[in-house]
Amino acid sequence: MENTSLSELLREWPHEPGRLNVRIVEADDGRPLVQVRVELGVLQLERHGRPDGLRPDGCESLFHRVLEQALGQGPDEVSADPGTCAALRHEAGLYSYRSAVLSILDDYAGVLEDTNRNLEVAVFIVRHAASDEDRAMAGRSIPNLLMMRARASSTLALRSGDMKSARAAIESGLHDLEEACRSRGTGASFESMPEVKVLRGMREMLVPKLPSSQRLELEARLKEALAVENFELAAILRNELRLMS
């Protein structure tokens, strides 16, 4: 391998303290690469697949290899030992770092892809880890991943001008967070979760403020629907009021 100095590259792309400089470049074969300028040099990540470009045993990622090994086994037969779980967490950290970098580039399609992938890993560990500690660690990561998925989905919808889908993504994220809390037996902490506050804050920015007269009209229609036991209409009206609150 030819020894190549990076001095010229570093001079042309200087580090800026307090700012994370990120850019997309093309490899010799045309595939996109993500570069991050840090104080001591440049980090380079693959845009697709495993961020460091490695292919464990020829697979796209370690997680893909683990899934291949689990094929043909019953759900109760699949078990991830602590070493495997640690390796999966390390790999997920690579994807998480790339997700954060892609968000700086406003590449929310990539953010969504990496977040969904890491969410699959976390769910797999929760279901199949041999260790209670590994299951607990994976479970604690799920709320943040659900929040990130909702934000990315909502942002993509906003960019296409679909306000309805943007709000729906936030509501779906809040619902998923509540279900995750219930499944872990921590439903009481739902209201105080930082992930919930982030999504509600985003929802607040998406929902236009309506005049109080329109709010009062909806509330009156809700009471009428309940009085005649039209619960389907009542559910719709209640959801509309919730979106406006």
pLDDT digits (tens, 9 = 90+) for 64-93: 999 998 887 877 788 999 999 999 999 999
Q: Give me the pLDDT at residue 245, please.
A: 56
Average pLDDT value for residue range 13-40: 91
Backbone angles phi, psi at 209, to 5 degrees: -75, 130
- Asked if 119 and 149 touch (Cβ cutoff 8 Å), the reply is yes
**How far apart, in Å, are the Cα atoms of 192 and each of 141, 161, 177?**
16, 31, 12
Q: Is the pLDDT of residue 54 over 70?
A: yes
Average pLDDT across the chain, whole number: 88
Structure tokens at 133: 């500690």
Average pLDDT value for residue range 223-231: 73
Average pLDDT value for residue range 155-170: 91
Higher pLDDT, 188 or 52: 52
Q: Is the pLDDT of residue 212 over 70?
A: no
Place of tokens 């997700």: 99
Q: Give me the pLDDT at residue 207, please.
A: 65
Structure tokens at 123: 């769910």
Distance CA 73, CA 127 (A): 14
Q: Is the pLDDT of residue 23 over 80?
A: yes
Average pLDDT value for residue range 15-32: 90
Partners of residue 38 on adjacent β-strands: 41
Q: Is the pLDDT of residue 222 over 90?
A: no
Q: Is the pLDDT of residue 244 over 70?
A: no
Q: Give me the pLDDT at residue 129, please.
A: 96
Structure tokens at 182: 């219930």
Average pLDDT value for residue range 140-146: 94
Q: Give me the pLDDT at residue 239, please.
A: 67
Q: Is the pLDDT of residue 115 over 60?
A: yes
Average pLDDT value for residue range 192-200: 91
CB atoms within 10 A of CB 70: 16
Across the chain, which distance is largest between two alpha carbons, in Å?
81
- Domain ranges in the chain are 76-207, 209-245
